[in-house]
Amino acid sequence: MRLINVSLFSFTTAYHWNMTEIEATARTEKLAEPESRTGLMRSVLRSVVKVMTVSDAPDYDQPWQTAGPESAVGSGVIVMTTRGTRVLTNAHVVQNQVFIEVRRYGKSRKFVAEIESVGHVCDLALLKVEDPDFAGNAPPIPIAELPVLGNRVSVLGFPIGGDRLSITEGIVSRIEMSPYAHSQRTLLAVQIDAAINAGNSGGPVVKDAELVGIAFEALDEAENVGYMIGAPVVKHFLQDIADGIQDGFPDLGIVTQQLESKSHRRSLGLSANSHSGVLITGVAHGSSAWGILEKGDVLLMVDGKNIAADGTIRFRKGERIEFTHQIAMHHVGETMRVKVWREGAMRRFDIPLKRPRFLVAEDSYDIKPTYYLYGGLLFVPLSRDFLTTWGPDWWLEAPSELVSIYQHEICSPARTQVVVLQKVLADRVNQGYHGFEALAIERVQGRKIRDLRELIRIVESATDDFIRFEGHEGSVIVLDRDLVGEGNRRVMRRYGVAFDRSVDLRK
């Protein structure tokens, strides 16, 4: 289960169309003058890059087409990788890109860049510039360790309100696990009080001329509250892609509950005063923990680190952090040792770590949406991208049933994907159902469906005269199978749909 923060705060990724120029220039910035910096800072400035992207995002309201080209501006930094110097930036700066240009600080020439690797989960991307003149004498910025609370850092980048490089300074004020706006995955985030404005995204955050993070988010409701992706996440990303394959961040696939109640602990046979362990209340089908951990287990330890009843582990001296950080810092394919309390006894398990399995898909980028059109009925998998078609307050505007599924349900053997009738493209073949939309489909031909592919298999192998779809709340849609073929062709001509299904379903 993924929690979304919708009541008190609203995060936005810091690229230029998410804030107005008035908002950006209202914050104090200091323009960087090379002659006023030390030689060390001048060396760092040479490695800061402006990233200019043209993107063409999918249209999840009409998934057979795109939304049209848009331009974005972000920042980046030259770093050293196992394959040579590259530009590191945010994934959201180059999401759904069709063309990318980069320009170094103090230079006038723009260079064409291409994405070499992208990690949308951690909001990081690596760009490659083929032209050898690009890097020139720019030294890659070394990556340091995570700063501590109170450390002063500098944010370098190209926020809107001007074309020159900007430097803002602040202190590290908080280190915790937080949902990233780009993916909603909870990873390590570092709060700083330096201004991070639109266009800063992807820019380096430095301390003593070393990279300690990448700027990526700002808090709308507060002044000078920004966030950076911490150095451990950056290093994980670069290590992950060193072999040319982007595996992402593993997850146990469990839902947990804090165990701070003494009564609850005693009922499970645990010491009321030990203050350790969290209760497992669900295990996602196909996840790392599936078939190993069980609902009702108490997770006591990961990698030899004790988990407190509030779900935290020791991080650094005097600091604690959510235990999920320990899992995220592993790589997919590695094994994690865990200790659990099960039915009055301690149990230890070695768990091979996999990518997470979500019932409702995370935000996706750089790929076309999945859809299937049958008799003018448009079926799609439930995803966060689909929910956001209801606008910035989608958690209030979207159907409560679908939002509840997103927030609370996990994969099970019977259902690994939620299929939704997104809308009905009106035609006489589907007359009587034109008002149906956003309906979760539970059964086809009386059979429960596991995912969209199963719906397609049942429909296309049916020999009955009628095809029957049943919604989660009992609604029923019936189509005449003999009329669907010609009806679908009419619908496709009328609405400009080239194929009756998305490219991934045509394979």
Q: Catalytic residues, which ones?
A: 92, 123, 201
Write out the two tokens for 263.
């009564």
Least Cα distance to 159 among 30, 44, 42, 45 occurs for: 30
Write out the two tokens for 167.
């430097």
Spatial distance between the Cα atoms of 328 and 359, rounded to a whole number of angstroms: 20
- Antiparallel, parallel or unpaired: β 226-230 and 186-192: antiparallel
Distances (CA, A) of 465 to 424, 452, 457: 21, 22, 16
Distance linking the first and last C-alpha atoms of the chain: 30
Question: Would you say 119 and 240 are in contact if contact means Cβ atoms under 8 Å apart?
Answer: yes
Least Cα distance to 477 among 487, 485, 468 occurs for: 468
CA 165 to chain CA mean position, Å: 28
Write out the two tokens for 411.
């994969």
Least Cα distance to 92 among 165, 187, 211, 183 occurs for: 183
Spatial distance between the Cα atoms of 111 and 10, rounded to a whole number of angstroms: 35
Question: Would you say 424 and 377 are in contact if contact means Cβ atoms under 8 Å apart?
Answer: yes
